[in-house]
């Protein structure tokens, strides 16, 4: 799985939990919470959906690594490839 594919998965999850957000202009290098109206519960929903839909575990100490779409891809791609 590529970094771009993982970013798409994260965007799909965000679309599910925050359907009113406009994801078309997301800048990958900018923190998601600075671009979207996501609160801490939304963020936890993203983490829970990663586990539920894809079996990906994200320890709490690694949550900062999911700050931007780009960092999500960098952090999660090896996890997706390990799980495959």
- Give per-residue pLDDT as tens, 11-63: 999 999 999 999 999 999 999 999 998 899 999 999 999 999 999 999 999 99
Backbone angles phi, psi at 28, to 5 degrees: -60, -30
pTM (global) more than 0.85: yes
Q: How far apart are CA 82 and CA 18, in angstroms?
A: 28
Backbone angles phi, psi at 60, to 5 degrees: -55, -35
The string of DSSP codes covering 70-81 is HHHHHHHHHHHH
Residue 3: CB atoms within 10 A of its CB come to 18
* Confidence check: pLDDT of 84 > 90: no
């Amino acid at each position: 799985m590529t970094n771009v594919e993982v970013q798409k998965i994260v965007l799909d999850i965000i679309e599910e939990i925050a359907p009113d957000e406009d994801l078309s202009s997301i800048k990958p290098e900018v923190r998601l919470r600075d671009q979207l109206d996501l609160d801490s519960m939304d963020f936890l929903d993203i983490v829970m959906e990663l586990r539920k839909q894809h079996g990906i575990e994200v320890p709490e100490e690694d949550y900062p690594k999911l700050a931007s779409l780009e960092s999500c891809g960098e952090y999660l791609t090896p996890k997706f490839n390990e799980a495959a």
